[in-house]
Amino acid sequence: MPIRLPRRRRVRAVLAVAAVLLMGCGPGTALTSRRSEPAYAGPLDAGVVRTSMGPVRGLVAPDYRVFHGIPYAAPPVGPLRWQPPRPALRWAGTLDASKPGPQCIQDTGRDLKEGKATNENCLTLNVWTPSSGHGATEKHPVMVWIHGGGFVNGSGDIYYSRWLAGKGRIVVVTINYRLGALGFLAHPALGAPGDIGNYGLADQQAALRWVRDNIGAFGGDPAKVTIAGESAGGMSVCDHLVAPGSAKLFRAAIIQSAPCQAQADPATAQRISLDYAAKAGCADPATAAACLRALPATALVPTLWYSHIGDSDALSGPVVGTTTLPVSPVAAIAAGSAARVPVLIGTNHDEFTMFAALRYLHTGHGVRLAEYPHVLADIFGADGKAVLARYPPDHYGGDVSLAYSAAVTDGVFACVADRMADALGRSAPVYAYEFDDPHAPAPELLRHAPFPLGASHSLELRYLFNVGGAPPLDPAQRVLSDQMIKYWSQFVTTGSPQTAGQPGWPVMGGDPGRWMSLRPDGSRVVTTFAESHQCPFWASLKGKS
């Protein structure tokens, strides 16, 4: 089911609450509350690696090394604002890579209060590697992680990857890319038709080229690169599967909780961009480009919204029909024209409960019964009546918010992933999962919602990365976390998550499809995913993707 584009201007107050709470909300959300640098397991020693731009000095712990804030492109400032990324400049001496660089310009109250700066000069990445105890000549497979945050906030530095590097023995690269208006403004004055917008997506491609050219110096294998991301990051992975400039830069892909159908079309993106520029004081088409580039970066913090899911969530992001992204990834995947690489794809059992909870916490109430038909119509258009009949509150204990959450979980996330997995599996191995911990730890504020969150959007991230913002995992959840780290690392290593000593994970193929259900009471293969999320119903609708 495609996400509907906006029919009117709306204030995204719910998203503003989420930005403070999670440091990113939207299809693209990551559980991204900031933490201080984790304590290392032993005394820190300096580690120096020589890159093509100069040497960098990182931090070394007994089981891993980390190099923060390495520039992978030139600062996109001044005349380079809204231009494709240029190569990074060489630096004199040895770069101090012991601390993350600034996050890209975004509207994030929490990090600014904590003293974490945002800056237009933000195109940096972080490299986490296993320790070199297995010999200096060993080359490790590489996972490039693309952060979520609705393409309007987030950063790579909050994904502490010590578990994947130390336990999984893979190299993990986490990246920053331009966000919001600075990353995706599609104003026609900024370039030739087809060459505007998608600057943030081009940044991600530049980071992948940096990895190809430099990761060998860190002990990574440039021939074994997997691109991975959650939410907006997963949506980015879908884009790279069909983007011409991303070809041959990776050999496998991981897509987590991604609304891969949510790209903007050129006409809508240009209309919204023109309105955005006018509100910024740059309404004259003849002078708009110079006017916009002369604005201080703080004038470009207000969010550029391209797509909405009702009144609960929104995102900026890539524009299709452009040189960087000529086609919709979901359409290209259905047509069999996406990159033919192994894919690990999945969703969370209760994706949308987080957004329903944020709506409740912002308004003081959930979706009211009288509002429910209008909310569904706003999201699903002419199919809203059919969705209402299929997801009545009576089926969810009379709770309208839970009915609403189930409808959007199934129609926007689960069944889109099911269709993509089926299509991708016709030409390459696909491994599908559903994260289904009904008691996954959530941020404290969200625990005040009057309904259970279950396995909601972004909550699986704490099982893979050392991120904060929620209570610690209990012993059973810790076991699940170790399982997931082994599955993900093995997929990055071999293109298959099959791991000795863990439940077998077959390719998805067949009808019904085989999905791995990741649960703290025992992970297992299930064949009921499409049925439990009512995917045949969603496939029957006129507005299906």
Same domain, 464 and 423: yes
Same domain, 381 and 333: no
Same domain, 254 and 302: yes
15 lies in a domain?
A: no
Question: Per residue of the chain (545 residues), what is the pLDDT tens digit?
Answer: 444 433 333 333 333 333 334 443 444 444 433 344 444 433 444 489 999 999 999 999 989 999 999 999 999 999 999 999 999 999 999 999 999 999 999 976 544 344 467 999 999 999 999 987 544 578 999 999 999 999 999 999 999 999 999 999 999 999 999 999 999 999 999 999 899 999 999 999 999 999 999 999 999 999 999 999 999 999 999 999 999 999 999 999 999 999 999 999 999 999 999 999 999 999 999 999 999 999 999 999 998 999 877 655 678 999 999 999 999 999 999 999 999 999 999 999 999 999 999 888 888 888 999 999 999 999 999 999 999 999 999 999 999 999 999 999 999 999 999 999 999 999 999 999 999 999 999 988 888 889 999 999 999 999 999 987 788 999 999 999 999 999 999 999 999 999 999 999 999 987 889 999 999 999 999 999 999 999 999 999 976 54
Same domain, 384 and 326: no
347 lies in a domain?
A: no
Q: Is the dihedral of CA 298, 300, 305, 311 positive or negative?
A: positive
DSSP assignment letter at 337: -
308 lies in a domain?
A: yes
Q: Which helix (H) or strand (E) holds 314?
A: strand 313-315
Spatial distance between the Cα atoms of 67 and 82, rounded to a whole number of angstroms = 28
Q: Which long-range contacts (CB under 8 A, 24 or more apart) does 108-114 make?
A: 108/19, 108/20, 108/23, 108/153, 109/16, 109/19, 109/20, 110/19, 110/20, 110/21, 110/23, 110/33, 110/34, 111/23, 111/34, 114/34
21 lies in a domain?
A: no
Same domain, 332 and 384: no
CB 492 within 8 A of CB 481: no
- Give the chain's end-to-end CA distance (angstroms, integer): 5
Among 315, 341, 367, the domain boundary falls at 341
Same domain, 139 and 166: yes
CATH number at residue 189: 3.40.50.1820
346 lies in a domain?
A: no
Separation in Å, CA 113 to CA 109, 266, 409: 6, 36, 33
Among 280, 315, 341, the domain boundary falls at 341
291 lies in a domain?
A: yes
Spatial distance between the Cα atoms of 143 and 123, rounded to a whole number of angstroms = 18
Count of domains forming the chain: 2
Same domain, 332 and 380: no
Same domain, 443 and 514: yes
29 lies in a domain?
A: no
227: β partners: 144, 253
The pTM assigned to this predicted structure is 0.93
Same domain, 364 and 479: yes
* The residue type at 264: A
Buried b (16+ CB within 10 A) or exposed e, 447-470: eebebebbbbbbbbbbbbbebbbb
**What per-residue confidence (pLDDT) applies to 241?**
98
**Up-side HSE of residue 388: CA atoms within 13 Å toward CB?**
16
CB 306 within 8 A of CB 317: yes
Same domain, 267 and 287: yes
List, by residue number, the catalytic residues. Answer: 231, 351, 457
Same domain, 332 and 386: no
Same domain, 390 and 279: no
Among 311, 341, 371, the domain boundary falls at 341
3-state secondary structure string, 160-195? CCHHHHHCCCCEEEEECCCCHHHHHCCCHHHCCCCC
379 lies in a domain?
A: yes
Separation in Å, CA 122 to CA 93, 213, 291, 435, 507: 20, 20, 22, 32, 39
**What per-residue confidence (pLDDT) applies to 509?**
83
- Structural domain boundaries, residue 438: 352-544
